[in-house]
Amino acid sequence: DGGITQSPKYLFRKEGQNVTLSCEQNLNHDAMYWYRQDPGQGLRLIYYSQIVNDFQKGDIAEGYSVSREKKESFPLTVTSAQKNPTAFYLCASSIARTSGGNIQYFGAGTRLSVL
């Protein structure tokens, strides 16, 4: 089945530790995205990538880093510089049509908590 796989489902971070969230898709989509969701808030964009080896910061990129070495994979690292990392993290993918209006398909999410 085609889709987006995020792992792990739950993740715990100790203070000062970097953690990496995995996102893999087999939809053959060029564009991939990372969003953060907090209770009572909409989804906020962290980073997005339109093509391999290229990515752009979203609205809340500080304290996060990404890489896009393969079309299928877009891992997100939550660094120790992110002081409030507790949230639900969602990965999405879409085709990369420049006229916009591209349907984004989401993974099941990773819930990150601080120990």
Partner 1 sequence: EDQVTQSPEALRLQEGESSSLNCSYTVSGLRGLFWYRQDPGKGPEFLFTLYSAGEEKEKERLKATLTKKESFLHITAPKPEDSATYLCAAPSNSGYALNFGKGTSLLVTP
Bridge partner list, 21: 76
Query: In the bound complex, what is the minimum distance in angstroms from residue 63's beta carbon to partner 1?
Result: 18
Residue 63 or 105 with smaller CB distance to partner 1: 105
Is residue 11 a contact residue for partner 1 (CB under 8 A)? no
State how far the Cα of 111 lies from the Cα of 86, in Å rounded to an integer.
Answer: 8
Question: Cβ of 68: how many Cβ atoms within 10 Å?
Answer: 19
Q: Binding pattern to partner 1, positions 86-115, x when CB under 8 A? A: --x-x-x-x-x-xxxxxxxxxxxx-x----
Chosen residue from 43, 53, 73, 115 binding partner 1 by CB under 8 A: 43
Candidates 14, 15, 42, 83; binder of partner 1 (CB under 8 A) is 42
Interface region with partner 1, contact rule CB under 8 A, candidates 12-20, 40-48, 61-69, 72-80: 40-48
Phi, psi at 110, each rounded to 5°: -125, 130
Give the tokens for residue 32: 């991939």
Q: For residue 65, give the amino acid letter.
A: S
Q: Which pairing describes strands 76-78 and 19-25: parallel, antiparallel, or unpaired?
A: antiparallel
Q: Minimum Å distance from CB 109 to partner 1?
A: 5
